[in-house]
Structure formats: structure tokens, C-alpha cells
Amino acid sequence: MATIRFSNRKATTTGFGTQASNQGERLVRKDGSYNVIRSGMPFSSRFNHYHDLITMKWWKFYLLVITFYTSMNILFALIFMAVGMEQIEGDLGLTTAEHFWDAFFFSSQTMTTVGYGRTSPIGFAANLVAAIECLIGLMSFAILTGVLYGRFSRPRAKLASSDQAVIAPFEGGTALMFRIANARSNQLIECEAQLLMSYIDRATNRREFETLTLEYNKISALALSWTVVHPIVGDSPLVGLSLNDLKEMDCEFVCNFKGFDETYSQVVYTRISYNSNEIVWGAKFTPMFHRAQNSAATVLEVDKVGDYELMALPTS
């Protein structure tokens, strides 16, 4: 067999461009999605139905199911009427509207396979249409089952994160901090955070990216809250900058979060973004957990994740 010579060079890039004029303003939206619109995708790729079906909101999904069911029944009712209602035994209707509703309900009984049989097909054509409709009903239902399972089992980290990041006092100096907590009852373990700072270098008009060093970038379990801390010391690009500087640099802090969801046994990812308007200069987060009164447990108040109090920063 053939040997491969490996290089040791392992370089990573963000996947964003550097030409400031080429790109939109915010890289990551507040919901954690990338602020990118695609165009010109190949036709077959443009529609990823399954992806849409499992990510759409529940009310839209239910509306879609009801619309599909109604439309299919209207369609088959019209087909049965075209075939001739004399081929549907038990059709008691006299007017066209009555025929339609008999055909409509017969269709619904066929598609759901309930098949009471009070109305039933007797002619060849009606029998054929009914045989086809049953199959379509079963396949639609098989797809529905798969999509519902897909919706349920899709892994999602739902992090509660503070609306603002703060510049807080930290070990005699200052630090950039924001706080996250798990907003679901799933257990997130082996969590990691990576904090990127994106800004426009006004000298070169290029967008630059820096990874900010974190006090801790791993946590065994997100059982309580996690205050992510970037100390503004040493070679931190934030050293000496003011809030106005951040705004002029069109600064954005993007946190890539990764954890293992014990319930679904899957790695989940999410992103949190703070732009320069979402920074509070001189504040610290207030406690959000305490010992339970009636048990030996700890109580975590998830809605307090963004609570902070203003406080003076040490003058550097």
C-alpha cells in the first residue's frame, strides 16, 4: 500500500470573507443563524422539503397537514364525480352539492382507511380510484409518521443567554462577560465555548477575526449557569479600547457553543452573537441560583440569566 506524507500544518478560518464592502453587517443573527441568503442553487437543492417540514413551527405544520388532507379529499371527490357517482353505492345525494359532499366524505373514509362501507365503490373505475387513494393515504401517513418523529427527535440546544454582554471588573482588571444557562430539562454535558471577535480594520477596510482567550472554555456539565469570561489583559485585542471604539470598528462577538445532549445522545451546536450595541460597559451579573428551601437541591432561576447590576470599573 501507498504511504501518505502528512503535513503538520493545521490552519482554521472562519468561513467569512475579509472584504468589508462585500459582506452584510451582522454575521450571526440573534437567533444563532448565519446572516446569509443563498441564490442560484441547483433546482433540486433549492427545496429540501424534509428540512423545512421538521424545522417549521408547529402551528404551520398542523395547518399544512389539514390543508393537505382537505385538498386531497376535494381532488378525489372531483375525480369520483367525474367517474360517475352511480359507481358509489350508498350515495344518497340528489343535487350536485350533495353528490360532492358524499364523494368528499367517501374520499376521506378511503384515504384514512376507515372505510365504513355505507358508501363503497361498485364500478371498475371507482374501485380503481379508491385503490389508488388508499395507497396514497397510507404513504402520506407513513411520511407523516417519519416527519413527526423527525420533528420530535431533532437535537436542539436551547440556551438561555443574557441579552447583553457586560464589561465587568475581574481580578483587579476588567473582562468581557456574558452568561448562559440551559433552558431545557435535557442535560447538556461536555460543553465547549469558542469566542470570536469580528471587526473592520479601518486602516485596510478589511474585516478581521480574532479568537478571544476564555477563562474556561470547557465545562463538564451545564448543570447551573455558565458565565463565559474573556479577561481583558495581555494580548487581548480589547485592551485599551472604549465602547465607542467598538462601535466604530463595527464590532461583533460571536460565541460558538457545543455540548452533548444526554437525552438525545447527540452533539448540539448553537451560536450567540453580541454586537457593539449589546455591550454594557461597567456591570456584573447577579446570582441566579440558591439552595432550595425544602430540599438539599440547588434552584436555578433561568429567567434571571440576563440580570446584571451596574458597577464602576477599576481605572486602568
Q: Taking the complex as a whole, how short is the minimal distance between the CB of residue 297 and its own copies, in angstroms? A: 4
Applying CB under 8 A, which of residues 83, 85, 91, 121 lies at the interface with its own copies?
A: 121
The answer to the question of residue 101 lying near its own copies (CB under 8 A) is: yes
Distance CA 248, CA 264 (A): 43
> Could you give the dihedral angle defined by the CA atoms of residues 84, 89, 93 and 96, in that order, rounded to the nearest 10 degrees?
-10
Are 138 and 113 in contact by the 8 Å Cβ rule? The answer is yes
Alpha-carbon span 222 to 160, nearest angstrom: 11
Stretch that binds its own copies, among 78-86, 112-120, 161-169, 239-247 (CB under 8 A): 112-120
Stretch that binds its own copies, among 76-84, 114-122, 170-178, 278-286 (CB under 8 A): 114-122
Which of 172, 291, 309, 315: binder of its own copies (CB under 8 A)?
291
Residue numbers 241-280 binding its own copies by CB under 8 A: 256, 260, 262-269
The amino acid at residue 79 is I
Residues 144-163 that bind its own copies (CB under 8 A): 144-150, 152-155, 158, 160
Least spacing, CB of residue 315 vs its own copies, in Å: 27
Q: How far apart are CA 255 and CA 165, in angstroms?
A: 11
Judged by CB under 8 A, the chain residues 76 through 95 that form the site for its own copies are 89, 92
Nearest residue (CB) to its own copies, 86 versus 141: 141
Q: Verify binding: residue 299, its own copies, rule CB under 8 A.
A: yes
CB of 176 to its own copies, least distance (A): 14
From residue 145, give the alpha-carbon distance in Å to each of 58, 134, 151, 246: 15, 16, 10, 50
| Phi, psi at 207, each rounded to 5° | -80, 125
Residues 197-236 that bind its own copies (CB under 8 A): 206-211, 213-224, 226-227
Does the footprint of its own copies cover residue 72 (CB under 8 A)?
A: no
Task: Tell me which residue of 34, 119, 124, 134 sits closest to 76, measured CA to CA.
Answer: 134
Q: What is the DSSP string of 188-247?
A: EEEEEEEEEEEEEETTTTEEEEEEEP-S-SEEEE-SS-EEEEEE--TT-TTTT--HHHHH
Tell me: does residue 25 bind its own copies (CB under 8 A).
yes
Q: Report the nearest approach of its own copies to the CB of residue 288 (Å).
A: 9
**How many whole angstroms from its chain centre is CA 271?**
10
The interface with its own copies within residues 31-70 (CB under 8 A) comprises 33-42, 45, 48, 50-51, 54-55, 65-66, 69
- Nearest distance from C-beta of residue 64 to its own copies, angstroms: 12
R_g over Cα of the chain: 29
